[in-house]
């Protein structure tokens, strides 16, 4: 998952050793956001489908030995863009609701969120940074969808807890 690529258009491009999927803004808009997924070319045949949802959400469904893995690459609006963030999470929830209940789900990317280090059973671990911000709708989203915010379950050096 590659957030903030600032690319335009929605493209699937074959490179030498990779397949690049990116979902950006139209050519007539300022490139303020886009999201990409880079896949090794040898795994291309495992791609079942993909959808360019918008410039902040890209969905990839991948065939596994048993079942499917649906990955959602996301780039959440920056803190302070409340209306855009609300719209983003509504769209993301719509996408989650469409995914087969039998699929494994990974939602990864740049959430622009800081939610502290107070654990929430099964959702948030104790290894987050101390700081919180108002862009933390991720905690609620994870709870509703029974997802884990995995980077908070593993120890990191302080410098690696934020970007």
Query: Which segments of the chain are extended strands (E)?
Result: 2-3, 10-14, 18-23, 35-40, 47-54, 57-63, 68-75, 104-110
Sign of the torsion formed by the C-alpha atoms of 76, 82, 84 and 88: positive
The pTM of this model reads: 0.83
Angle at 62 between CA 135 and CA 87, to 5 degrees: 25
Domains and CATH numbers, the chain: 46-160 (3.60.10.10)
Q: At what angle do helices 137-144 and 82-98 cross, to 10 degrees?
A: 20
Going residue by residue through the chain, which has 163 residues, state the pLDDT in tens, using 9 for 90 and above.
Answer: 777 777 778 888 899 999 999 888 878 888 778 889 999 999 999 999 999 999 999 999 999 999 999 999 999 888 878 888 899 999 999 999 999 999 999 998 887 877 767 767 777 667 667 777 766 678 788 888 888 876 766 676 766 666 5
In the 8-state DSSP scheme, what is residue 158?
Answer: G
């Amino acid at each position: 998952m590659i957030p903030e690529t600032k690319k335009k258009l929605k493209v699937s491009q074959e490179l030498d050793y990779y397949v690049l999927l990116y979902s950006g803004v139209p050519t007539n808009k300022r490139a303020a956001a886009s999201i990409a997924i880079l896949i090794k070319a040898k795994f291309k045949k495992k791609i079942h489908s993909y959808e360019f949802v918008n410039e902040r959400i890209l969905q990839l469904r991948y065939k596994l030995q048993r079942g499917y893995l649906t990955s959602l690459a996301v780039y959440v609006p920056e803190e302070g863009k409340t209306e855009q963030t609300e719209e983003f999470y509504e769209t993301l929830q719509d996408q989650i609701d469409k995914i087969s209940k039998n699929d494994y789900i990974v939602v990864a990317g740049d959430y622009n969120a800081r939610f502290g280090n107070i654990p929430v059973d099964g959702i948030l671990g104790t290894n987050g940074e101390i700081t919180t911000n108002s862009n933390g709708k991720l905690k609620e989203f994870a709870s509703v969808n029974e997802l884990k915010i995995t980077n908070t379950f593993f120890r990191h050096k302080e410098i690696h807890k934020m970007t």
